[in-house]
Structure 1
Amino acid sequence: MDVWLEAALNGPWGRDRQPGIPVTADEIVADALAAAGAGAAVIHLHAYDERSGRQRDAYEIYAPIIERIRSSVDVVCCPTIPFAGSGDSTEPLSPAERFAAVERLLEAGLIEWSVVDPGSVNISLADDVAQGREGFVYANAESHVRHGLALAQAHRMTPSYAIYEPGFLRLGAALHRAVPGAPQPVYRFMFTDQFTFGFPPQEWALQAYLRLLRDEAPGAPWMVAGLGVDVEPLIGAAVRAGGHVRAGLEDAPLGCPDGNRELVERAARLITDAGGTLATAAQVRAGTAGLP
């Protein structure tokens, strides 16, 4: 089986939470090329303001980074949208404002996937909860999800669904059915060790998600991923069940001492050990092209 390996390079953490993430354009490009060399066919990245060291989802930052990556290696690039509710995106945004950079990147022909997360959830570290420090609500109103799916429909973009809780899967499948012609989303099951949402990275939890997926979106592609998690123990089970894999510093436990290259190399090795074959970007495109 051809297994899609996605590298999630940095996430929204900033270096205070995840010291090893790439932040500058040069760092992001270097890590993307290293991850591609280690076997990743999909590159997921967050754009950063280099002066503040915080996430800033601006076309002017994304575009030159993605152009540099694509000029050197054939990969599928997947940006994100503002992490609504976090310290970097506290002000309410309309759906069009939230997806503004994504829409421009689509019009420029620079991306093929984008984050379209179908639900809202409390993002809280277990340690913070114990010490009385409050997390935040990651908010994705239905109108925002519909807007993202409409862009997917118009531009033949693959929506990347982060499934933090089982309800995300049910709502995401229902909204996809409500937007005829939108390409089939990729369902990323978001496991965690350090946060308090969703499921821990256990095989019983993977089986629960797969049972629900069979009911709500039979045949949809899926992968194991997460935040603040070591997903490596699940990779073999995921590959044997027909799934795909995401690895990288966005997902790794906060404070991870390894870099993106090492994380992707280990994931690639576990995929092949389980009998999978690393897919190329062309094979990823072919795997999503015919999905309704």
Structure 2
Amino acid sequence: MDPVIIECAINGVTSKAANPHVPIAPSEITADALACMDAGAAIIHNHIDLPGVGVERAVERYLEAWRPVLDARPDALLYPTIHFDTDGSCSYEHLVALAAAGIRVGITDPGSVNLGVRDADGLPSGGFVYRNSFDVIGRAFDICRDGALGPSLAIYEPGFLRATLAWWRAGRLPAGAMIKLYFSTERGYLGAPFGLPPTERALDAYLEVLGDCEIPWAVSIVGGDLCADRLAGLALERGGNLHVGLEFYGGDRTPTNVDLVTEAVALCQRFDRPVATPEEAAQILGLPRGPGG
């Protein structure tokens, strides 16, 4: 088996009230990204702290944190979240400038899903639909292809994976893709569950859908603690990779991102799986070299 790619999603919408260790300011993101890479993470994902800004300002905010990382670690694999336009719609246009700046990993969330909280009766509540139409997905893939970005593919629901495979079968999926299977606890991302639960049968269902597709894949537990769950070991036994970090962590501790990466490395050692460096991860994924790389 290939070495394990450990990706760390270091912040997301997690607040310092929920975990004081979550990095939010650019300087915090820089320090945390470098520390996580030193601990064994091959890929770093983060959000920025300026919701609602335009594409140009968002790009600069990402690079404010990433330039020092790339200065210290030119091999760093960093990527953003999606960009919400002023009307609330999803956009991937910020990837164009980030590719020109030398970033090698992009993002595409190939589907739509309800994300919300629970009300006083425990029912899912809220009107937010995280929406990526097929046209938006196609545009995101075009941007990744044109910018030589390997798309990081978030699979919230089985339909996300089937859409991905439609592009793959047509020979239109950009090079360097990585599939991340998101399993949701009852807590989910914002409080309400989505998708499949973190069980062996759910993992095997996804792997059945993948079939003969050899795109590298990882598992993540949204609202849980991946490395404390049996799912992580099952994935390692089946040749998978690990997606950890404070964005999705929902355990009963307040760990650092470095803690979570260190635990992932230890788990890989238990299963006799070596851990990939960023350079090895780039080779495993087949990341192309972009115009800024």
* Common topology (TM > 0.5): yes
Give the CA deviation at 1:185.
Answer: 2.3
Aligned AA for 1:24?
Answer: A
What does residue range 134-173 of structure 1 map to in structure 2 within 5 Å? 134=126, 136-173=128-165
1:108 to 101, 104, 107: 101
Query: Deviation per CA, 1:153-195, whole angstroms, max 9, x where unpaired?
Result: 1122111111111111001211344463621521100012112
Residues 1:128 and 1:176: Cα distance change in structure 2 (over 3 Å): farther
Taking the TM superposition and a 5 Å limit, the aligned residue runs for 1:134-283 are: 134=126, 136-178=128-170, 180=172, 182-193=174-185, 194-195=187-188, 196-214=193-211, 218-232=213-227, 233=229, 234-253=231-250, 256-283=253-280
CA contact (8 A) 1:190 1:227 kept: yes
CA contact (8 A) 1:150 1:179 kept: no
Secondary structure of the residue aligned to 1:3 is coil
Cα distance in 2, alignment partners of residues 290 and 262 from structure 1: 28
Contact 1:14-1:55 at 8 Å conserved across structures = no
Q: Please, what TM-score do these two structures have when normalized by structure 1?
A: 0.86
Shift of 1:20: 3.4
After superposition, give the CA deviation of every residue in 1:126-148 in whole Å (9 maximum; x if it has no partner).
Answer: 56771674262111111111111
What TM-score, normalized by structure 2, do the two folds share? 0.86
**Matched letter for residue 91 of structure 1:** D
Q: Secondary structure at 2:94's aligned position in 1?
A: helix
In 2, the alpha carbon distance for the partners of 1:75 and 1:188 equals: 19
Contact 1:239/1:275 (<8 A) preserved: no
For residues 121 and 63 of structure 2, the distance between their equivalents in structure 1, rounded to whole angstroms, comes to 38
* Structure in which a larger fraction of residues adopt helix: 1
Conserved 8 A contact 2:184-2:197: yes
Q: Comparing 118-127 with 274-283, which one deviates more in the overlay?
A: 118-127
Check 1:105–1:184 CA distance in 2 against 1; reply closer, same or farther (3 A cut). Answer: closer
Aligned mates of 1:129, 1:12 — CA distance in 2? 24
CA 1:255–1:133: 2 relative to 1, 3 Å: farther
Aligned-residue RMSD, C-alpha: 2.4
- Structure number with greater CO (CA < 8 Å, separation at least 6) is 2
**Alpha-carbon distance in structure 2 between the residues aligned to 1:129 and 1:99:** 37
> Mind listing any 5+ residue stretches in structure 1 that lack a counterpart?
none
Deviation at 1:200, TM superposition (A): 1.6
Give the distance between the partners of 2:184 and 2:124, measured in 1 at CA: 20
Identity %: 33
